Structure 1
Protein backbone atom coordinates (compact mmCIF):
# COMPACT_ATOMS: atom_id res chain seq x y z
CA UNK A 1 0.00 0.00 0.00
CA UNK A 2 1.30 3.44 -0.97
CA UNK A 3 0.57 6.10 1.65
CA UNK A 4 1.00 9.86 1.32
CA UNK A 5 0.35 12.68 3.77
CA UNK A 6 -2.63 14.90 2.96
CA UNK A 7 -2.43 18.64 3.66
CA UNK A 8 -4.15 21.77 2.45
CA UNK A 9 -4.03 25.55 2.42
CA UNK A 10 -6.17 26.37 5.41
CA UNK A 11 -6.73 29.97 4.39
CA UNK A 12 -8.55 28.79 1.27
CA UNK A 13 -11.21 27.53 3.67
CA UNK A 14 -11.57 30.42 6.12
CA UNK A 15 -9.53 33.11 7.87
CA UNK A 16 -10.28 31.45 11.21
CA UNK A 17 -7.75 28.67 11.93
CA UNK A 18 -10.33 26.83 14.04
CA UNK A 19 -12.50 26.45 10.93
CA UNK A 20 -9.44 25.60 8.85
CA UNK A 21 -8.58 22.71 11.15
CA UNK A 22 -12.15 21.44 11.40
CA UNK A 23 -12.66 21.26 7.64
CA UNK A 24 -9.25 19.75 6.90
CA UNK A 25 -9.71 17.05 9.53
CA UNK A 26 -13.22 16.29 8.27
CA UNK A 27 -11.61 15.66 4.87
CA UNK A 28 -9.00 13.34 6.35
CA UNK A 29 -6.04 15.71 6.58
CA UNK A 30 -3.94 16.00 9.72
CA UNK A 31 -1.63 18.64 8.26
CA UNK A 32 -2.11 22.25 7.23
CA UNK A 33 -0.07 24.27 4.77
CA UNK A 34 0.26 27.60 6.52
CA UNK A 35 -0.07 30.71 4.36
CA UNK A 36 -2.22 32.92 6.58
CA UNK A 37 -4.57 32.95 9.55
CA UNK A 38 -6.83 35.68 10.93
CA UNK A 39 -6.20 37.46 7.63
CA UNK A 40 -2.48 37.86 8.40
CA UNK A 41 0.24 36.35 6.20
CA UNK A 42 2.56 33.96 7.98
CA UNK A 43 5.65 36.14 7.43
CA UNK A 44 3.83 38.98 9.21
CA UNK A 45 2.81 37.00 12.31
CA UNK A 46 3.75 38.44 15.66
CA UNK A 47 5.48 36.23 18.23
CA UNK A 48 2.16 36.06 20.09
CA UNK A 49 0.31 34.92 16.96
CA UNK A 50 2.91 32.22 16.30
CA UNK A 51 2.51 30.96 19.85
CA UNK A 52 -1.28 31.13 19.74
CA UNK A 53 -1.54 29.20 16.50
CA UNK A 54 1.01 26.61 17.57
CA UNK A 55 -1.04 25.93 20.70
CA UNK A 56 -4.25 25.71 18.68
CA UNK A 57 -2.83 23.22 16.19
CA UNK A 58 -1.34 21.10 18.95
CA UNK A 59 -4.65 20.98 20.79
CA UNK A 60 -6.35 19.70 17.65
CA UNK A 61 -3.70 17.17 16.72
CA UNK A 62 -2.70 19.09 13.58
CA UNK A 63 0.78 19.69 12.20
CA UNK A 64 2.16 22.08 9.56
CA UNK A 65 3.37 20.52 6.30
CA UNK A 66 5.00 23.69 4.98
CA UNK A 67 5.22 27.42 5.51
CA UNK A 68 3.59 28.80 2.35
CA UNK A 69 5.53 32.03 2.26
CA UNK A 70 5.26 34.74 -0.41
CA UNK A 71 9.05 34.97 -0.68
CA UNK A 72 10.07 35.55 -4.28
CA UNK A 73 6.70 36.95 -5.31
CA UNK A 74 8.30 40.35 -5.66
CA UNK A 75 10.23 42.16 -8.36
CA UNK A 76 13.71 40.85 -9.04
CA UNK A 77 14.81 44.49 -8.98
CA UNK A 78 14.46 44.62 -5.19
CA UNK A 79 17.70 44.14 -3.22
CA UNK A 80 18.74 40.62 -2.23
CA UNK A 81 18.35 41.56 1.44
CA UNK A 82 14.65 42.32 1.00
CA UNK A 83 13.70 38.67 0.72
CA UNK A 84 16.42 37.47 3.07
CA UNK A 85 14.75 39.55 5.78
CA UNK A 86 11.39 37.94 5.03
CA UNK A 87 13.03 34.53 4.99
CA UNK A 88 14.12 35.10 8.59
CA UNK A 89 10.48 35.47 9.57
CA UNK A 90 9.52 32.38 7.57
CA UNK A 91 12.28 30.42 9.29
CA UNK A 92 10.99 31.57 12.68
CA UNK A 93 7.55 30.28 11.70
CA UNK A 94 8.97 26.97 10.47
CA UNK A 95 10.76 26.52 13.76
CA UNK A 96 7.65 27.43 15.77
CA UNK A 97 5.62 24.76 13.96
CA UNK A 98 8.42 22.21 13.56
CA UNK A 99 7.99 22.40 9.78
CA UNK A 100 10.76 21.27 7.42
CA UNK A 101 9.61 23.11 4.29
CA UNK A 102 9.22 26.74 3.25
CA UNK A 103 7.61 27.46 -0.12
CA UNK A 104 9.18 30.21 -2.24
CA UNK A 105 9.04 31.66 -5.78
CA UNK A 106 11.62 32.97 -8.26
CA UNK A 107 10.71 36.63 -8.78
CA UNK A 108 8.62 38.75 -11.09
CA UNK A 109 10.42 40.53 -13.89
CA UNK A 110 9.90 42.67 -16.99
CA UNK A 111 11.32 41.94 -20.44
CA UNK A 112 13.28 38.85 -21.48
CA UNK A 113 13.91 36.11 -18.93
CA UNK A 114 17.57 35.75 -19.90
CA UNK A 115 18.22 39.38 -19.00
CA UNK A 116 17.31 38.75 -15.34
CA UNK A 117 18.71 35.21 -15.04
CA UNK A 118 21.86 36.21 -13.14
CA UNK A 119 19.89 38.35 -10.69
CA UNK A 120 17.43 35.53 -10.08
CA UNK A 121 20.21 33.02 -9.47
CA UNK A 122 21.98 35.39 -7.07
CA UNK A 123 18.81 35.73 -5.01
CA UNK A 124 17.87 32.07 -5.09
CA UNK A 125 21.39 31.03 -4.04
CA UNK A 126 21.38 33.50 -1.15
CA UNK A 127 18.02 32.18 0.04
CA UNK A 128 19.18 28.57 -0.23
CA UNK A 129 22.39 29.32 1.68
CA UNK A 130 20.43 30.82 4.56
CA UNK A 131 17.95 27.95 4.53
CA UNK A 132 20.78 25.43 4.72
CA UNK A 133 22.21 27.25 7.74
CA UNK A 134 18.79 27.12 9.43
CA UNK A 135 18.18 23.45 8.62
CA UNK A 136 15.07 24.01 6.49
CA UNK A 137 14.32 23.15 2.86
CA UNK A 138 13.00 25.71 0.39
CA UNK A 139 10.42 24.49 -2.11
CA UNK A 140 10.32 26.45 -5.35
CA UNK A 141 6.79 26.54 -6.73
CA UNK A 142 6.39 27.07 -10.46
CA UNK A 143 4.12 30.05 -11.02
CA UNK A 144 3.07 32.19 -13.95
CA UNK A 145 4.85 35.54 -14.39
CA UNK A 146 7.94 34.52 -12.39
CA UNK A 147 11.29 33.37 -13.80
CA UNK A 148 10.65 29.73 -12.89
CA UNK A 149 7.38 29.33 -14.76
CA UNK A 150 8.25 26.65 -17.33
CA UNK A 151 10.11 23.35 -16.75
CA UNK A 152 13.36 24.40 -18.45
CA UNK A 153 13.79 27.47 -16.24
CA UNK A 154 12.75 25.60 -13.10
CA UNK A 155 15.44 23.04 -13.89
CA UNK A 156 17.94 25.83 -14.54
CA UNK A 157 17.28 27.27 -11.09
CA UNK A 158 17.62 24.08 -9.12
CA UNK A 159 20.69 22.88 -11.02
CA UNK A 160 22.45 26.25 -10.93
CA UNK A 161 21.86 26.81 -7.22
CA UNK A 162 22.77 23.17 -6.63
CA UNK A 163 21.81 23.05 -2.95
CA UNK A 164 20.07 20.31 -0.96
CA UNK A 165 18.20 23.18 0.71
CA UNK A 166 16.37 23.99 -2.54
CA UNK A 167 13.88 21.50 -3.93
CA UNK A 168 10.66 21.70 -5.95
CA UNK A 169 6.95 21.88 -5.27
CA UNK A 170 4.98 20.68 -8.30
CA UNK A 171 1.89 22.65 -9.32
CA UNK A 172 0.18 21.20 -12.39
CA UNK A 173 -2.36 24.02 -12.73
CA UNK A 174 0.34 26.69 -12.77
CA UNK A 175 2.15 24.85 -15.56
CA UNK A 176 -1.07 24.61 -17.58
CA UNK A 177 -1.62 28.35 -17.16
CA UNK A 178 1.64 29.04 -19.03
CA UNK A 179 0.78 26.58 -21.80
CA UNK A 180 2.72 23.58 -20.51
CA UNK A 181 1.45 20.00 -20.42
CA UNK A 182 2.97 19.20 -17.03
CA UNK A 183 3.63 15.48 -17.12
CA UNK A 184 4.50 15.24 -20.81
CA UNK A 185 6.83 18.24 -20.83
CA UNK A 186 8.17 18.51 -17.29
CA UNK A 187 7.97 15.40 -15.17
CA UNK A 188 11.08 13.56 -16.40
CA UNK A 189 13.15 16.76 -16.17
CA UNK A 190 12.08 17.77 -12.69
CA UNK A 191 11.29 14.53 -10.86
CA UNK A 192 14.81 14.19 -9.37
CA UNK A 193 14.19 17.41 -7.43
CA UNK A 194 10.45 17.09 -6.77
CA UNK A 195 9.72 16.88 -3.06
CA UNK A 196 6.21 18.26 -2.58
CA UNK A 197 2.91 18.23 -4.46
CA UNK A 198 0.46 21.13 -4.76
CA UNK A 199 -2.95 19.84 -5.84
CA UNK A 200 -4.97 21.78 -8.38
CA UNK A 201 -5.74 21.47 -12.09
CA UNK A 202 -6.50 23.88 -14.94
CA UNK A 203 -7.74 24.06 -18.52
CA UNK A 204 -5.45 24.96 -21.41
CA UNK A 205 -8.35 26.59 -23.26
CA UNK A 206 -8.84 29.48 -20.85
CA UNK A 207 -6.42 28.84 -17.92
CA UNK A 208 -9.33 28.44 -15.50
CA UNK A 209 -8.69 26.35 -12.39
CA UNK A 210 -10.68 23.14 -11.92
CA UNK A 211 -10.63 20.23 -9.46
CA UNK A 212 -7.82 17.71 -9.78
CA UNK A 213 -8.30 15.30 -12.66
CA UNK A 214 -10.81 17.52 -14.47
CA UNK A 215 -8.35 19.63 -16.45
CA UNK A 216 -5.30 19.40 -18.68
CA UNK A 217 -2.77 19.07 -15.86
CA UNK A 218 -2.24 15.34 -16.45
CA UNK A 219 -2.82 14.85 -12.75
CA UNK A 220 -3.72 11.16 -12.94
CA UNK A 221 -0.57 10.32 -14.92
CA UNK A 222 1.54 12.35 -12.51
CA UNK A 223 0.08 10.68 -9.43
CA UNK A 224 0.62 7.22 -10.89
CA UNK A 225 4.21 8.07 -11.86
CA UNK A 226 4.94 9.42 -8.38
CA UNK A 227 3.44 6.26 -6.90
CA UNK A 228 5.70 4.12 -9.07
CA UNK A 229 8.73 6.29 -8.25
CA UNK A 230 8.28 5.68 -4.53
CA UNK A 231 7.03 9.15 -3.57
CA UNK A 232 5.78 9.23 0.03
CA UNK A 233 5.58 12.96 0.74
CA UNK A 234 2.85 15.56 1.07
CA UNK A 235 -0.04 16.26 -1.27
CA UNK A 236 -1.39 19.70 -0.44
CA UNK A 237 -4.82 20.85 -1.61
CA UNK A 238 -4.76 24.37 -3.09
CA UNK A 239 -8.06 24.49 -5.00
CA UNK A 240 -8.40 28.20 -5.99
CA UNK A 241 -12.00 27.40 -6.96
CA UNK A 242 -13.66 30.65 -5.90
CA UNK A 243 -11.01 33.24 -6.68
CA UNK A 244 -7.27 33.63 -7.13
CA UNK A 245 -5.11 36.65 -6.46
CA UNK A 246 -1.46 37.60 -6.34
CA UNK A 247 -0.57 36.08 -2.99
CA UNK A 248 -3.00 33.19 -2.87
CA UNK A 249 -6.54 32.08 -3.53
CA UNK A 250 -9.84 31.21 -1.89
CA UNK A 251 -12.35 28.40 -2.19
CA UNK A 252 -14.52 28.34 0.93
CA UNK A 253 -15.45 25.17 2.84
CA UNK A 254 -17.90 23.76 0.27
CA UNK A 255 -15.66 24.21 -2.79
CA UNK A 256 -12.67 22.99 -0.81
CA UNK A 257 -14.62 19.81 -0.12
CA UNK A 258 -15.39 19.43 -3.83
CA UNK A 259 -11.67 19.70 -4.59
CA UNK A 260 -10.76 17.20 -1.89
CA UNK A 261 -13.27 14.63 -3.12
CA UNK A 262 -12.07 15.03 -6.72
CA UNK A 263 -8.50 14.40 -5.64
CA UNK A 264 -9.61 11.42 -3.55
CA UNK A 265 -10.98 9.84 -6.74
CA UNK A 266 -7.64 10.34 -8.49
CA UNK A 267 -5.80 8.76 -5.57
CA UNK A 268 -8.24 5.89 -5.33
CA UNK A 269 -7.78 5.10 -9.02
CA UNK A 270 -4.01 5.10 -8.47
CA UNK A 271 -4.20 2.96 -5.35
CA UNK A 272 -2.74 5.67 -3.11
CA UNK A 273 -4.10 6.32 0.37
CA UNK A 274 -3.59 9.37 2.55
CA UNK A 275 -3.28 9.96 6.25
Structure 2
Protein backbone atom coordinates (compact mmCIF):
# COMPACT_ATOMS: atom_id res chain seq x y z
CA UNK A 1 0.00 0.00 0.00
CA UNK A 2 1.07 3.53 -0.70
CA UNK A 3 2.16 5.96 1.95
CA UNK A 4 0.29 9.20 1.31
CA UNK A 5 1.93 12.52 2.12
CA UNK A 6 -0.51 15.19 3.25
CA UNK A 7 -0.46 18.87 2.38
CA UNK A 8 -3.07 21.63 2.61
CA UNK A 9 -4.08 25.11 1.56
CA UNK A 10 -3.72 26.38 5.11
CA UNK A 11 -4.86 29.89 4.22
CA UNK A 12 -8.37 28.47 4.36
CA UNK A 13 -7.91 28.05 8.12
CA UNK A 14 -6.75 31.64 8.64
CA UNK A 15 -5.22 34.57 6.73
CA UNK A 16 -2.62 34.80 9.52
CA UNK A 17 0.44 32.76 8.69
CA UNK A 18 1.12 31.78 12.30
CA UNK A 19 -2.41 30.37 12.60
CA UNK A 20 -2.00 28.51 9.31
CA UNK A 21 1.01 26.70 10.74
CA UNK A 22 -0.94 26.01 13.93
CA UNK A 23 -3.80 24.49 11.93
CA UNK A 24 -1.40 22.15 10.14
CA UNK A 25 0.13 21.07 13.44
CA UNK A 26 -3.33 20.54 14.92
CA UNK A 27 -4.29 18.17 12.10
CA UNK A 28 -0.90 16.45 11.73
CA UNK A 29 -0.23 17.77 8.23
CA UNK A 30 3.43 18.40 7.48
CA UNK A 31 3.23 20.29 4.18
CA UNK A 32 1.55 23.43 2.87
CA UNK A 33 0.55 24.45 -0.64
CA UNK A 34 1.25 28.10 0.02
CA UNK A 35 -1.21 30.59 -1.49
CA UNK A 36 -2.07 33.43 0.90
CA UNK A 37 0.13 34.88 3.64
CA UNK A 38 -1.18 37.46 6.10
CA UNK A 39 -3.74 38.66 3.59
CA UNK A 40 -1.39 38.87 0.59
CA UNK A 41 -1.11 36.50 -2.35
CA UNK A 42 2.10 34.49 -2.38
CA UNK A 43 3.39 36.17 -5.55
CA UNK A 44 2.89 39.62 -3.98
CA UNK A 45 5.26 39.06 -1.06
CA UNK A 46 8.47 41.06 -0.92
CA UNK A 47 11.85 39.41 -0.48
CA UNK A 48 11.84 40.53 3.15
CA UNK A 49 8.39 39.01 3.74
CA UNK A 50 9.55 35.78 2.13
CA UNK A 51 12.51 35.70 4.52
CA UNK A 52 10.05 35.79 7.43
CA UNK A 53 7.94 33.05 5.84
CA UNK A 54 11.00 30.87 5.34
CA UNK A 55 12.05 31.27 8.99
CA UNK A 56 8.55 30.51 10.32
CA UNK A 57 8.29 27.40 8.15
CA UNK A 58 11.65 26.15 9.42
CA UNK A 59 10.72 26.87 13.03
CA UNK A 60 7.40 25.06 12.59
CA UNK A 61 8.97 22.16 10.70
CA UNK A 62 6.54 22.69 7.82
CA UNK A 63 7.57 22.09 4.22
CA UNK A 64 6.13 23.59 1.04
CA UNK A 65 4.59 21.07 -1.35
CA UNK A 66 3.86 23.63 -4.08
CA UNK A 67 3.41 27.31 -4.75
CA UNK A 68 -0.37 27.73 -5.02
CA UNK A 69 -0.05 30.42 -7.65
CA UNK A 70 -2.74 32.10 -9.75
CA UNK A 71 -0.56 31.71 -12.85
CA UNK A 72 -2.75 31.03 -15.88
CA UNK A 73 -5.76 32.72 -14.29
CA UNK A 74 -5.97 35.48 -16.87
CA UNK A 75 -7.97 35.63 -20.06
CA UNK A 76 -6.39 33.90 -23.02
CA UNK A 77 -6.77 37.16 -24.96
CA UNK A 78 -4.98 39.19 -22.26
CA UNK A 79 -1.39 40.36 -22.64
CA UNK A 80 0.88 37.47 -21.69
CA UNK A 81 4.17 39.36 -21.30
CA UNK A 82 3.52 40.82 -17.81
CA UNK A 83 2.01 37.51 -16.72
CA UNK A 84 5.16 35.67 -17.75
CA UNK A 85 7.13 38.05 -15.55
CA UNK A 86 4.88 37.02 -12.65
CA UNK A 87 5.57 33.40 -13.51
CA UNK A 88 9.31 34.03 -13.35
CA UNK A 89 8.77 35.51 -9.89
CA UNK A 90 6.85 32.36 -8.93
CA UNK A 91 9.85 30.28 -9.97
CA UNK A 92 12.16 32.34 -7.77
CA UNK A 93 9.76 31.98 -4.83
CA UNK A 94 9.56 28.24 -5.37
CA UNK A 95 13.32 27.97 -5.23
CA UNK A 96 13.54 30.12 -2.12
CA UNK A 97 10.89 28.06 -0.30
CA UNK A 98 12.49 24.77 -1.38
CA UNK A 99 9.72 23.35 -3.54
CA UNK A 100 9.89 22.04 -7.09
CA UNK A 101 6.21 22.61 -7.92
CA UNK A 102 4.11 25.57 -9.07
CA UNK A 103 0.36 24.99 -9.32
CA UNK A 104 -1.00 26.81 -12.37
CA UNK A 105 -3.89 27.00 -14.87
CA UNK A 106 -4.51 27.19 -18.63
CA UNK A 107 -6.22 30.58 -19.11
CA UNK A 108 -9.84 31.65 -19.07
CA UNK A 109 -11.72 31.27 -22.33
CA UNK A 110 -14.09 34.12 -23.35
CA UNK A 111 -17.68 33.21 -22.58
CA UNK A 112 -19.47 31.74 -25.58
CA UNK A 113 -16.26 31.08 -27.51
CA UNK A 114 -15.09 27.64 -28.60
CA UNK A 115 -12.01 26.81 -26.46
CA UNK A 116 -10.42 24.97 -29.38
CA UNK A 117 -9.97 28.28 -31.19
CA UNK A 118 -7.32 29.07 -28.59
CA UNK A 119 -5.59 25.68 -28.48
CA UNK A 120 -2.37 26.79 -30.16
CA UNK A 121 -2.07 29.94 -28.04
CA UNK A 122 -2.63 27.99 -24.83
CA UNK A 123 0.01 25.43 -25.79
CA UNK A 124 2.50 28.13 -26.80
CA UNK A 125 2.11 30.01 -23.51
CA UNK A 126 2.26 26.96 -21.28
CA UNK A 127 5.21 25.50 -23.19
CA UNK A 128 7.13 28.73 -22.59
CA UNK A 129 6.44 28.51 -18.85
CA UNK A 130 7.24 24.81 -18.66
CA UNK A 131 10.54 25.32 -20.49
CA UNK A 132 11.54 28.17 -18.19
CA UNK A 133 10.48 26.26 -15.09
CA UNK A 134 12.25 23.04 -16.03
CA UNK A 135 15.44 24.97 -16.83
CA UNK A 136 15.27 26.24 -13.24
CA UNK A 137 14.40 22.93 -11.62
CA UNK A 138 10.74 23.79 -11.08
CA UNK A 139 7.76 21.87 -12.47
CA UNK A 140 4.53 23.42 -13.77
CA UNK A 141 1.55 21.54 -12.31
CA UNK A 142 -1.73 22.15 -14.13
CA UNK A 143 -4.99 22.11 -12.20
CA UNK A 144 -8.29 21.52 -13.98
CA UNK A 145 -10.75 24.33 -13.23
CA UNK A 146 -14.07 25.50 -14.62
CA UNK A 147 -13.79 28.10 -17.35
CA UNK A 148 -10.18 27.60 -18.34
CA UNK A 149 -9.00 25.74 -21.43
CA UNK A 150 -8.10 22.60 -19.48
CA UNK A 151 -11.35 22.14 -17.58
CA UNK A 152 -12.66 18.88 -19.08
CA UNK A 153 -11.02 15.52 -19.68
CA UNK A 154 -10.72 15.93 -23.45
CA UNK A 155 -8.76 19.17 -23.24
CA UNK A 156 -6.73 18.16 -20.20
CA UNK A 157 -5.55 15.14 -22.21
CA UNK A 158 -4.68 17.42 -25.14
CA UNK A 159 -2.58 19.65 -22.88
CA UNK A 160 -0.55 16.79 -21.46
CA UNK A 161 -0.11 15.09 -24.82
CA UNK A 162 1.21 18.31 -26.35
CA UNK A 163 3.43 19.14 -23.35
CA UNK A 164 4.66 15.91 -21.70
CA UNK A 165 6.65 17.80 -19.05
CA UNK A 166 3.49 19.51 -17.79
CA UNK A 167 2.38 17.84 -14.58
CA UNK A 168 -1.20 16.90 -13.79
CA UNK A 169 -3.06 18.02 -10.65
CA UNK A 170 -6.33 16.11 -10.24
CA UNK A 171 -9.22 18.02 -8.62
CA UNK A 172 -12.45 15.97 -8.40
CA UNK A 173 -14.73 18.84 -7.34
CA UNK A 174 -13.66 21.02 -10.25
CA UNK A 175 -14.53 18.27 -12.71
CA UNK A 176 -17.96 17.92 -11.12
CA UNK A 177 -18.55 21.64 -11.56
CA UNK A 178 -17.80 21.18 -15.27
CA UNK A 179 -20.21 18.25 -15.61
CA UNK A 180 -17.46 15.63 -15.87
CA UNK A 181 -17.41 12.43 -13.83
CA UNK A 182 -14.23 12.34 -11.68
CA UNK A 183 -14.28 8.53 -11.58
CA UNK A 184 -14.13 8.35 -15.38
CA UNK A 185 -11.51 11.09 -15.59
CA UNK A 186 -9.38 9.45 -12.93
CA UNK A 187 -9.19 6.20 -14.89
CA UNK A 188 -8.07 8.11 -17.97
CA UNK A 189 -5.54 10.34 -16.21
CA UNK A 190 -4.23 8.04 -13.48
CA UNK A 191 -0.91 7.30 -15.24
CA UNK A 192 0.04 10.99 -15.34
CA UNK A 193 -1.41 12.35 -12.07
CA UNK A 194 1.35 14.09 -10.12
CA UNK A 195 -0.75 14.90 -7.07
CA UNK A 196 -4.36 15.29 -6.05
CA UNK A 197 -6.45 18.04 -4.49
CA UNK A 198 -8.83 16.66 -1.88
CA UNK A 199 -12.04 18.52 -2.63
CA UNK A 200 -15.45 16.92 -3.15
CA UNK A 201 -18.70 18.32 -4.56
CA UNK A 202 -22.27 17.48 -5.56
CA UNK A 203 -23.41 17.09 -9.16
CA UNK A 204 -26.80 18.63 -8.47
CA UNK A 205 -25.52 22.14 -7.77
CA UNK A 206 -21.72 22.03 -7.67
CA UNK A 207 -21.58 22.79 -3.96
CA UNK A 208 -18.45 21.66 -2.12
CA UNK A 209 -18.76 19.16 0.72
CA UNK A 210 -16.28 17.29 2.95
CA UNK A 211 -14.37 14.54 1.15
CA UNK A 212 -16.42 11.39 0.78
CA UNK A 213 -19.78 13.14 1.08
CA UNK A 214 -20.00 14.21 -2.57
CA UNK A 215 -19.99 12.68 -6.03
CA UNK A 216 -16.23 12.86 -6.52
CA UNK A 217 -15.56 9.17 -5.80
CA UNK A 218 -12.80 10.32 -3.45
CA UNK A 219 -12.66 7.17 -1.25
CA UNK A 220 -12.48 4.79 -4.23
CA UNK A 221 -9.92 6.96 -6.02
CA UNK A 222 -7.70 7.06 -2.93
CA UNK A 223 -8.05 3.29 -2.51
CA UNK A 224 -6.93 2.78 -6.12
CA UNK A 225 -3.97 5.12 -5.63
CA UNK A 226 -2.99 3.30 -2.44
CA UNK A 227 -3.04 -0.05 -4.22
CA UNK A 228 -0.50 1.15 -6.79
CA UNK A 229 2.16 1.18 -4.09
CA UNK A 230 3.47 4.48 -5.43
CA UNK A 231 3.94 7.52 -3.20
CA UNK A 232 1.29 10.22 -3.70
CA UNK A 233 0.74 13.66 -2.26
CA UNK A 234 -2.77 14.70 -1.27
CA UNK A 235 -3.41 18.42 -0.85
CA UNK A 236 -6.44 19.35 1.20
CA UNK A 237 -8.42 22.23 -0.33
CA UNK A 238 -11.49 22.54 1.94
CA UNK A 239 -13.55 25.29 0.23
CA UNK A 240 -16.18 24.92 2.93
CA UNK A 241 -16.03 28.47 4.24
CA UNK A 242 -15.76 31.98 2.77
CA UNK A 243 -12.19 32.44 3.90
CA UNK A 244 -10.61 35.87 3.72
CA UNK A 245 -8.30 35.02 0.84
CA UNK A 246 -11.22 34.16 -1.40
CA UNK A 247 -10.60 37.15 -3.63
CA UNK A 248 -7.27 35.62 -4.60
CA UNK A 249 -9.14 32.79 -6.34
CA UNK A 250 -10.14 35.19 -9.11
CA UNK A 251 -13.63 34.06 -9.95
CA UNK A 252 -13.49 30.46 -8.80
CA UNK A 253 -16.88 29.07 -7.79
CA UNK A 254 -17.13 28.46 -4.05
CA UNK A 255 -20.49 26.98 -3.08
CA UNK A 256 -21.08 25.14 0.16
CA UNK A 257 -24.03 23.78 2.10
CA UNK A 258 -23.08 23.82 5.75
CA UNK A 259 -22.50 26.68 8.17
CA UNK A 260 -19.37 26.70 10.32
CA UNK A 261 -18.57 29.05 13.17
CA UNK A 262 -15.25 30.02 11.64
CA UNK A 263 -12.61 29.07 9.09
CA UNK A 264 -10.68 26.98 11.61
CA UNK A 265 -13.70 24.75 12.21
CA UNK A 266 -14.31 24.30 8.48
CA UNK A 267 -10.64 23.43 7.96
CA UNK A 268 -10.79 20.86 10.77
CA UNK A 269 -13.96 19.26 9.35
CA UNK A 270 -12.35 18.93 5.93
CA UNK A 271 -9.17 17.50 7.44
CA UNK A 272 -11.04 15.02 9.64
CA UNK A 273 -13.00 13.79 6.62
CA UNK A 274 -9.77 13.04 4.75
CA UNK A 275 -8.19 11.32 7.76
CA UNK A 276 -11.32 9.19 8.20
CA UNK A 277 -11.12 8.02 4.58
CA UNK A 278 -7.44 7.18 4.91
CA UNK A 279 -8.09 5.09 8.03
CA UNK A 280 -10.37 2.83 6.00
CA UNK A 281 -7.75 2.06 3.37
CA UNK A 282 -4.56 1.78 5.40
Superposition map of 1:144-163 within 5 A: 144-163=146-165
Contact 2:225 2:232 in 1 (8 A): no
Q: Distance in 2 between matches of 1:160 and 1:246?
A: 32
Q: Distance in 2 between matches of 1:4 and 1:162?
A: 24
Segments ≥4 residues shifted beyond 3 Å: 244-251
Number of residues paired by the alignment? 268
**Which residue of 1 is the match for residue 278 of structure 2?**
267
Q: Distance in 2 between matches of 1:247 and 1:222?
A: 29
- How far 1:191 sits from its partner (Å)? 1.5
**Which residue of 2 is the match for residue 7 of structure 1?**
7
The range that moved more, 249-258 or 143-152, is: 249-258
Q: Distance in 2 between matches of 1:243 and 1:270?
A: 31
The structure where strand makes up a greater share of residues is 1
**Which residue of 2 is the match for residue 213 of structure 1?**
212
Contact 1:148 1:154 in 2 (8 A): yes
- How far 1:246 sits from its partner (Å)? 5.9
Give the secondary structure class of the aligned counterpart of 1:79: coil
**Which residue of 2 is the match for residue 125 of structure 1?**
127
- How far 1:122 sits from its partner (Å)? 0.9
Q: Deviations over 1:139-178 (max 9, x none)?
A: 1000001010011111100111222xx1011101101111
Q: Distance in 2 between matches of 1:5 and 1:42?
A: 22
Question: Is residue 69 of structure 2 the alignment partner of residue 69 of structure 1?
Answer: yes
What's the C-alpha RMSD, in Å, of the aligned pairs?
A: 1.5
**Which residue of 2 is the match for residue 56 of structure 1?**
56
Contact 1:67 1:103 in 2 (8 A): yes
TM-score calculated relative to the size of structure 2: 0.91
Contact 1:198 1:237 in 2 (8 A): yes
Contact 2:3 2:226 in 1 (8 A): no
